[in-house]
Amino acid sequence: DNQVPLTVKDGGGTFFRFKEESYTLAEIYRKQAEEKLNEVVKVDLFANPRNAVAYPHGSRKNSAWWYDWGKFERLLWCNPPFQHLERCLAKVALERPRILLCTPDWGRDCKWREILDRLTKWRIVIEDTDGLFLNDAGKPLRAPGWNVHVSYIDGSNEINSTELQEFVCKTIKGRLI
């Protein structure tokens, strides 16, 4: 088992992605972003032992939601399950980590897209293609039907607090971030 428990000092964690939902962005695309930063991802927030792109990563017992992502000194990688996109973005907006955030490009009509655009320092747009994502066995998956963004957020971009509060309140719907 390659899972490594993280400590509060590490500031790390993960939300376990179940096998049937598991996938990862093909390594070549993450590496493009790392090369542009001249830095390697050190913590994978949403992973399992089969698809982790960095170690440490956590487990079911060590959730990314428990930690303040802004306290990391390391570069984070976040390729969350779709059902957690808005919650992840709210957490990024509030805690302001240094992070590479992988999201689908579903157009500007997404309620979270404007917040993402305002937080993003730069972005790599990856065209929709077969093999963009891999399953746990490393087998290429069919093209998803949309482009993908790998956005670098350096934690320095601020959003008007009222606008951010409204987004976060709508996003979390009574859940703790």
CB 56 within 8 A of CB 6: yes
DSSP, residue by residue, 10-78:
TT----PPPGGG--EE-HHHHHHHHHHHT----EESS--TTT-SSS----TTS-GGGS-GGG-SSPEEE
Question: Would you tell me the crossing angle of helices 161-172 and 85-95 to the nearest 10 degrees?
Answer: 150
Q: What are phi and psi of 93, to 5 degrees?
A: -65, -35
Q: Is residue 127 over pLDDT 70?
A: yes
Please report the pLDDT score of residue 140 as a whole number.
92
Q: Please tell me which residue, 16 or 137, carries the higher pLDDT value.
A: 137
Q: Please tell me which residue, 47 or 94, carries the higher pLDDT value.
A: 94
Interatomic CA distance for residues 146 and 101, integer angstroms:
16
Q: Is residue 10 over pLDDT 80?
A: no
Interatomic CA distance for residues 66 and 34, integer angstroms:
26
With tokens 């487990």, the residue in question is 59
Q: What is the mean pLDDT of residues 13-20?
A: 35
State the pLDDT confidence band at 73, using cuts at 50, 70 and 90.
confident
Q: Please tell me which residue, 10 or 151, carries the higher pLDDT value.
A: 151
Please report the pLDDT score of residue 48 as a whole number.
67
